[in-house]
Amino acid sequence: MAQDLPGYLDLIKRSRPDDLLVVSRELDPAYEITALVVKLEREARRRPVVICERVKGTSFPVLTNLHASRSRLAVAMGAAPDEMLTTYLRAMDKPIPPRVVKSGPCKDVVLTGDRINLYDLPQILHHEGDAGAYLTSAISFAKDPSRETWNCAYNRLMIQGRDRTSIHLTLGKHLWEFQRIAESMGRPLPVAFAIGVHPAIALGALAIGSIDEDERAIMGALLREPLELVKCETSDVLAPAQAEMIIEAEILPGARTPEGPFGEFTGYSLGEREREVVQVKAITHRRGAYFQDITVAHLDHMLLSTIPMEANLYRAVRAMVPSVKAVRVPAPFTCYVSLEQRLIGQAKNAILAVLGADLYMKRVVVVDHDVSIFDDRQVTWAIATRCQPDRDITIVTNARGSDLDPSTKEDGYSAKWGVDATAKPSLAGYTPRHRVPPEVWKRLDLKDFSE
């Protein structure tokens, strides 16, 4: 499988030409790109990959909305849409280690010293009230300073100078841990940020697991071949050889800077915080590179993150309750689980498994397997008719959650809750659901009633 973004785009052009929209008129990076994507989704019911050929203030064409379709992401994984969960789980179970190569397209142009200028990149403002231009598609590649453990993650970067940004490190996550180790040693943490990658690489970067699991190997399994990595110009960090752009940098020890507000996936514009500082050491890119943007809080962002989350949560619940049927993440901090409960208490075990498997999870609803978790109306019906609040709601206090949750008094310090909306004592022993007799349902054909 091709590992580069242009190769994936060529595949989309050939197989799904309506999924590609090329905009030739000049766009202002201040809000217009986000507005175009959202208008296409809401008013035209379209979610194409958008390529903005001319963006004010930069020579880089902007590519956005790449991940806004489940079927496009399925193409990137080489799977049918209904096989995405099993394909992702297989990649987690059978990772393929990366391969180091001498060079790649990301080295076509190498900018160091005075040639570094982040203001040459598209200065994209996404939502009203954002404190400045953000890089939203940057995937970090970094190594634990104390051992041979690697991590990849998405981290928003706010441009704060020609060679400096802030970085949002999620409290308690792996890159945050790496940075704290380096800072305790009084050392900067070398990191490379890849911008513009094949969607399989993006999906792999969002895998959630143990700190010892290597997301780069999950990327390889999704690509069905080793991910090609190349050594940075200014450090020993390894980055994707076929990325459109690599920003080589260090997260500085002891340095903090005001960052935000920024409109996040929660649907809220979160206020200013003190964040870590990134010093850029080099920028390398493919000749004629696309600059990739992710329209935060819209489908481009939400679908990409949901697929890996659902796979991780399914794996975690399956370890506790083998009869789990499906897992869905329908909204921020929320998970629905469907299972065939064979023993009393398995629903609560599923709740605890979800809350323990993902730092961001705050609300879990568990239903029986006769309820479709892909239909919000059915989930609400199960809560209303199979749940007693004083018996079936579990509340966990004083836990770590997301520092992007605007309802918490202290960043990331959260209560969590689970709702057992399964039938008691069992589905078989519960009041039966009404239904039309199956033979009547089968006998009637709507074609016989059309005018």
Q: What is the SS3 assignment for 349-380?
A: HHHHHHHHHCCCCCEEEEEECCCCCCCHHHHH
Q: Locate 242 and state its tokens.
A: 């076929």
User: What is the C-alpha to C-alpha distance for residues 224 and 201, in angstroms, rounded to an integer?
Assistant: 11
Q: What is the pLDDT of residue 270?
A: 78
Q: Locate 38 and state its tokens.
A: 């959202």
Q: Which domains does the chain have, with CATH numbers?
A: 5-299 (2.30.110.10), 321-421 (3.40.1670.10)
User: What is the C-alpha to C-alpha distance for residues 373 and 249, in angstroms, rounded to an integer?
Assistant: 43
160 within 8 A of 132, measured Cβ to Cβ: yes
Q: What is the SS3 assignment for 85-114?
A: HHHHHHHHHCCCCCEECCCCHHHCEEEEHH
395 within 8 A of 417, measured Cβ to Cβ: yes
User: What is the C-alpha to C-alpha distance for residues 356 and 345, in angstroms, rounded to an integer?
Assistant: 17
Report yes or no on whether pTM surpasses 0.75.
yes
Apex CA 422: angle with CA 421 and CA 428, to 5°?
A: 155
What is the chain's pLDDT, residue by residue, as a tens digit (451 residues)? 689 999 999 999 999 999 999 999 999 999 999 999 999 999 999 999 999 999 999 999 999 999 999 999 999 999 998 899 999 999 999 999 999 999 999 999 999 999 999 999 999 999 998 999 999 999 999 999 999 899 999 999 999 999 999 999 987 789 999 999 999 999 999 999 999 999 999 999 998 877 888 999 999 999 999 999 999 999 999 999 999 999 999 999 999 999 988 888 787 787 888 999 999 999 999 999 999 999 888 888 888 888 999 999 999 999 999 999 999 999 889 999 999 999 999 999 999 999 999 888 999 999 999 999 999 999 999 999 999 999 999 999 999 888 788 888 787 788 999 999 999 999 998 998 888 999 999 999 888 887 6
Q: What is the pLDDT of residue 132?
A: 93
Q: What is the pLDDT of residue 171?
A: 78
Nearest Cα to Cα of residue 185 among 254, 237, 249: 254
User: What is the C-alpha to C-alpha distance for residues 213 and 319, in angstroms, rounded to an integer?
Assistant: 17
